[in-house]
Each structure stands twice: as C-alpha cells, then as structure tokens.
Amino acid sequence: MIWRIWFRRALTNLCVLIFVLFRVSKGEAGKENSKFDENKYNSLSLSVDMKTGKALTPGKEQSSVSDISIIKGRNLYSITKEAIDLLGGMKRVVRPGSKVFIKPNYITGGLDGHDPVASGEIAHPAVVAAVAEECLKAGAKEVIIGEWVERPVKINFGGKEGWGGAQVKKLIDRLNKKYGHKIYLINLMDYTKSFKFVPSKTKLKYLAIPDIVANADVIISIPSLKTHHYPSPVSLGMKNFMGIMPSIFYGEPRYKLHEAGIHQIIVDINKALRPDLVVVSGAFGMEGRGASVYLNGKPVDVVSRIGGAVVIAGTDPVAVDATATRMITKDWRPVPEDSRLGSPWYVHHLRMASEQGLGNINTANIHIVGEKLEDVQMNWEPSDDNVYPEIPEPKNGQSIN
Amino acid sequence: MCIRKSPNQKMGRVLINIFILIAVFGAGLSDSLLAQEHPLFVEAVNSRGDWQEGVVAARRVVFTDKARAGSEIDIDVPAEGKYQLLAYIHHNWRNRNAFPHIRVEAVDAKENSHGGSHTLENIWYLENSDPGRWFFVSLSENPYWVLPEGRVRLRFRAEGRNSPWEDKSVPLESKVSIYGFILAPVTVNGDSLQSFLLINPEHCGGRWNVVDYDKECSTNFVETEKKGAEFSCAISIPKAAYYSGVFSVLAAQGGSLGVEIENKGFSFKRTVTLKNNPEWQMCQLEPVYLNKGGYSIKVKNLEPTLLKMDFLLLSARIDD
C-alpha cells in the first residue's frame, strides 16, 4: 500500500512540475509578444543639457522620422480627409475587419449650457465624423466613439443636439444609414465590463483601462486645440486619453491620477494604448485657462486668426502634440536654447514621452507635410496660473528624440 | 441564495484545508470541492458605530450626516491575496463647495493597516427634484490591498471636502449612505492584473425594459414582469478560475430568475428564488469554474412578477 501512495505522490509532483514549466514557458513567450513595444517610436537621439534643452552631441540614429500633416481650409470634412490622405490614407492604420476606438475630447462639453463646439471645448463633430467615415471606408468592422463620463448630461452624443451637446449624432446617424450600423456612440462607464490593468511608473503601479478600449485593434485620438490650466500648459492628443480613465477607481475628475503625477500618468496611458492616429481638431480652440469655459478658458475661432481651420494629423502622438503645441505657442517664452526642441520641451508630459521613447518632439525628427508650420503658427494666450514653462529636472546624459 | 448575513466559513475552511492536505498526499479530489463560496458582498447594515441604519432609495443602508462619524464592519477574507474594496454609495450633494469624501481603514488578521479613500463628484447636474444617485467606487488604495486570510476590520467615515483636489474639510452638505462593500479578489497575470467584471444590464441586449433614471431608486436599471423575458450579455473571461457572482435585484412580489452562463460546449444553469421584499436585495451566484474565453450570461424572469435588476458583478476566486 505504501508504495502505491508514494507512487501517487510522485505522479502528482510530476504533473505539478510539468504544469509549472508549461506556465513559465508560456509567460516568457507572452512577454516577447508584448504590445508594449518600447522601440516603436525610437528615432534620432540627441544628448541634451536638461536645463537649457541645448543639444550637445548627436546620439545613435535609430529609426524613422515622424510624418505630420497640417491642412488648412474651410471645409472641415474635406481637410480632415486630406490630412489623413497625406499620411498615406486610413488604410495605413485600419485593416479590414478592425475594431476601431475613437476618443474625441468631449469631456467638458457644454457644462454651463453654452455651445461646446464653438467654444473650442470639444473636437468639432465634422472632424470626428470624417475620421469615422474614413475608418469605415478602410474596412473597419465597427467604430466605437467613446468617453468615460460620470455626469449623464455632460456628454450628449445624441440626446441633446445643438448647444449643450456634442452635435455629432446626426452626422453619425447619416453614416450609419450609408454604411450599415457600424458606428457606436457610447459612454464607457455604461458599457465597460472589465478593466485591463497596465503598468504605471507612478505610485499607482497599474492603471485600469476599460476593456472596450484595451480590446480595440485601432485607437484614434481626436482632441481639440487647447491650452490648459495647471498642471499642463496644453491639452491635446495624449492628454485626451485621461477621458477614458474610470472614475470608479480615480474619482471624478480623476483626481487620483493627478495626485499620482499626471505627467507620467499621461505617458503611461499612451504607452499602454499606443494610439495609432491622432487628429487634432482646429476649427475652434481654447486659449487661456482651458480646458473649459467654466474654468475661464477663452474660445478661439481659428478661421478668424489665420483665415482657415486647421487639422493636424499623425501616427506619432508625441510628434502630433509637439507640432500642435508649436502651432499655438509662437511667442511663448522661454524656449530652449536648442530651437529644435521648442516649446514642447517645456510641456512636461511631451518631454517625458519623448525621453521614454514614445515619440518625437525634436523638429529634426518631425517631417511636416501640407501647410508650413510658420504659415499657421499663432500666439495663443497661456493659462494665467504659471503653468508654462514646466522646468525639467536637470539630469545628465539623457537623450531627447 | 440571497445574502442577509455573512456566513461563518471557519468550518468550511477547515474542511477545505483537510481536503488540500489529502490532495497533497495523493488522494484524488474533485475540482468542485475546491470552490470556496464566500460572500463577495457585505451589507453595510451589519456594521456597528455612529452611522445610522435606514432605507435610502429602496435600499437598506447605513448613513450619516455627521463629519468624521465612524463605524466598522468585519469582513472575512477567504484566502490570502490581493483585493480591491468597492462600495456602493449614495449621496445627493448639490452645491459645488462640498464634496462627499469616504475614508476607510482596514486592519487585517495580522494587525496590518490598509488605507483608502474616495471623493465623489457633486451631482449639481441632476434636476433639483431628483433624490440623488448611487455610485460604485473603489475605496482601496490603488491598485489593491494584500490581505492575509482571516477577519478584516473595516473602519469607515465620511467627510466633506472643499474640492477633489484638496484635503481641506468642510461640513457635510447632507447625508451619505453606504449600501454595502465588495471585496473583489485581484490576480496578477504577468504584467497585468485581473479584477472584477461589472455588468450594467441596461446595456445588454434583450427583452427587459430599460429605465434610465428612476427617482425612487436613484439609479438606472432594467425591469420586466413578463414570464420568460430574457436579457443576455457577452462577457470575456480573462483567466480560468472559479468565479463568484452577485446581482442586485428588486422583487417586491417575489419571483425567480434563471441564470445561465454558456459558450460552445459549456453551460451552467441555476434558478434563483427571490423572496418578496420591497427593498433591493443582493443575490449571490454559487462559484462556477470558467475557462478563459467568451461567454454569454443570460438572465430570465421565470415568473410573471415584476423584477428589477441594477447590476451584476463577477469576480474570480483568489489564487491559492
């Protein structure tokens, strides 16, 4: 009898050993296929004096330059399409059968009953609809346009057209009629069933990403061109993703993320999501103490400033935001000694993102097609709470893309 | 199966430990015997302290309108592991000068202290006649607490904050209520965590009617009194494990629900009998072993009585 018991124990142990080995080998394989591809946006590195932003010595050249398109015009629908076409078209981003998630900046739309579109608070509906249509034309299986909103009236994709709403539903209804019902306007808080927790360099260690976003094949950010109050001088494509973060964990308005260090949080979210495309809506925008009228942000009619609306697009989220930042900070001072870094150097999360390999802020690594940046540059009023410049901590030997 | 009080699981744990010992020394053991059944949801009315018991928005709750009034409740942790503490909280604070802030401290079986808090947004955006709103919030410090097996004493209190950004205390604008706590296990899988699954039935497909905002209940939900009416929801199970479930139901005339979890080649069916109760009740679904993959959860009203359902929550059992 005893040998039978021992034989059984040995067999059990063997099974456990095989199971453990199998798990370990699977885990290693999973790491190799991780979505967190640190080298996706690596490019020319320059060693930089962190106090002044002065380039010292060219570093190792790694990969490519980031293409950014800037289109100016009156017809938002067509300039959005043109901006995407100049990058190689939406087919470069969306494969047939893809699930696309679009995150427009709709987070503060019309809280006080004003028009959130004309105030520049939110992305223009024509830009959002144009991007969604391009996705469908490229063969997307479904396009989800979403935002995590705790306030039921804050985001009104359809329930409240006109002032006080995002004014996008009619356009989406038209597209759904044309292409079959493939576009969904949702509040992530209602539809999220679970969360993917992704690593964070902050004290939070992990960040909860709603399953709908985490499971999307393609992720697109559509911010409005805005300056912002402390702690970030601008709110563009990268910061836009704060609006997907679940209030269940982080409160409303995500104060726990701010407490943890908002700049690194923005970088962490973007590292996890790896947005495939950013399209900045620049028909209306906001200067001063954005990102909402409630906070004393001042609406900007871009057409009246430069004779046309602008759309900025690109697949490198850092380079798009850096370009959009340059566009609205023409006379902001100080600027780094190395003019290739410019005002984005003094936007904490942009600088950190480039340092951490997420994308480019250095003009040496950004190739602009369409309009020349100088032709569309404006001098928007910064927020009055001394948010610019965000002086970097001096560190030696770091490199800036 | 509906929870009224936390069951004493000590005997169950002893038996399970015996079975595990037997397993280690070579005896065969059915998987189902390893399925620990523990209450995911703990009713706040089982707490003791300064918070008062009452009924708010058709739920039996504890509430307070006094800053720093404290209460405590014991929660049994079924196994050592990582947990998130969730709570279902109601308030009706309107002015933008005071925000409800809930603070908790959990003292575990090894006398370690774990902190957490959550500041809720003021609901100035609701109609003045609306009586408030329920919120699911996480109270544990992110991302989770590591708790040993045994009893956790959870102390909680409410404060008013002048804004979510600062910690300056202000008087409470009105009362804050807590319906219950959920200690949701968290498992670490490589670089990522797995936590609970929360389903809002009003965004599932089916034949239950969607009620957007019900003043009496201060929330949105689905309802039906049609026998056989069903709603279903697709879920994705991230990891093979035993999953426990709870769902929030209002069955004033009683009734019964059929709950089915299925995918290709797998089907789990249970009937849940609901006692007549004018208040929302939380029902527990026994643990079910689910492999990684996609499933459909179907909920069917089995009798011609009016049933309302607010949410379903599934959570994996903690890893051994």
Q: Do B191 and A198 touch (CB under 8 A)?
A: yes
Phi, psi (5° rounding) for residue B6? -70, 125
Question: Tell me, what's the pLDDT at A78?
Answer: 97
Separation CA A188–CA A186 (nearest Å): 6
Contacting residues of B for A205, CB less than 8 Å apart: 142-143
- pLDDT reading at A52 higher than 80: no
Question: Tell me, what's the pLDDT at A322?
Answer: 98
- pLDDT reading at A324 higher than 60: yes
Separation CA A247–CA A126 (nearest Å): 28
Q: Do A194 and B142 touch (CB under 8 A)?
A: no
Place A13 in a pLDDT band, splitting at 50, 70 and 90: low
Q: How far is CA A311 from CA A267, A292, B227, B304, in A?
A: 23, 20, 54, 57
- pLDDT reading at A399 higher than 70: no
**What does the DSSP 8-state code read for residue B317?**
P
As a whole number of Å, the end-to-end CA separation of chain B is: 25
Q: Do A190 and B164 touch (CB under 8 A)?
A: no
Place of tokens 């039996």: B60
Q: Do B121 and A151 touch (CB under 8 A)?
A: yes
Task: DSSP for A75-108, please give it.
Answer: -HHHHHHHHHHHTT-GGGT--TT-EEEEEE--TT
The Cβ-side half-sphere exposure at A375, using a 13 Å CA radius, reads 13
8 A C-beta contact, residue A203 and residue A260: yes
Question: Tell me, what's the pLDDT at B32?
Answer: 37
Q: Do A31 and B233 touch (CB under 8 A)?
A: no
What is the percent of chain B with per-residue pLDDT over 90, rounded to a whole number?
65
Our CA dihedral for A145, A382, A368, A278, rounded to 10 degrees, sits at -10
| Helix, strand, coil share (%) of chain A residues, nearest 5 | 35, 20, 40
What domains does chain B contain, in order, with CATH numbers?
Answer: 36-192 (2.60.120.260), 194-316 (2.60.120.260)
Classify B313 as helix, strand or coil.
Answer: strand
- pLDDT reading at B6 higher than 70: no
A258 to chain B: closest CA residue: B165
Contacting residues of A for B22, CB less than 8 Å apart: none
Question: Tell me, what's the pLDDT at A400?
Answer: 53
Place A174 in a pLDDT band, splitting at 50, 70 and 90: very high
Contacting residues of B for A195, CB less than 8 Å apart: 195
Task: Find the chain B residues whose C-beta atoms sit closer than 8 A to any C-beta of A.
Answer: 23-27, 86, 118-121, 123, 125, 135-138, 142-143, 164-165, 190-200, 202-203, 213, 233, 235-236, 238
ipTM: 0.86
Under 8 Å CB pairs connecting chains A and B tally to 93
- pLDDT reading at B50 higher than 50: yes
Question: Tell me, what's the pLDDT at B28?
Answer: 36
Separation CA A345–CA A228 (nearest Å): 16
**pLDDT tens for each residue of A101-127:** 999 998 766 666 788 899 999 999 999
Separation CA B48–CA B40 (nearest Å): 20
Q: Do B26 and A12 touch (CB under 8 A)?
A: yes
**What does the DSSP 8-state code read for residue B2?**
B
8 A C-beta contact, residue B57 and residue B310: no
Tell me the pairing of strands A206-210 and A195-199. Answer: antiparallel
Question: Tell me, what's the pLDDT at A48?
Answer: 41
Q: What is the mean pLDDT of chain A?
A: 83
Place B279 in a pLDDT band, splitting at 50, 70 and 90: very high
- B128: burial class by Cβ within 10 Å (0-12, 13-18, 19+)? exposed
Most confident of A47-51, A238-242, A392-396: A238-242
* Cβ-nearest to A197 among B118, B192, B213: B192
Classify B305 as helix, strand or coil.
Answer: coil
From the list A270, A244, A69, the residue with the least C-alpha distance to A144 is: A244
- pLDDT reading at B223 higher than 60: yes
Contacting residues of B for A5, CB less than 8 Å apart: 25-26
Place of tokens 């979510």: B164
Question: Tell me, what's the pLDDT at A8?
Answer: 65
8 A C-beta contact, residue A154 and residue A109: yes
Average pLDDT in the B247-262 region? 96
**pLDDT tens for each residue of B133-186:** 999 999 998 689 999 999 999 999 999 999 888 888 999 999 999 999 999 988
Separation CA A5–CA A8 (nearest Å): 5
Classify B48 as helix, strand or coil.
Answer: strand
From the list B235, B237, B245, B236, the residue with the least C-alpha distance to B270 is: B245
**What does the DSSP 8-state code read for residue B210?**
E
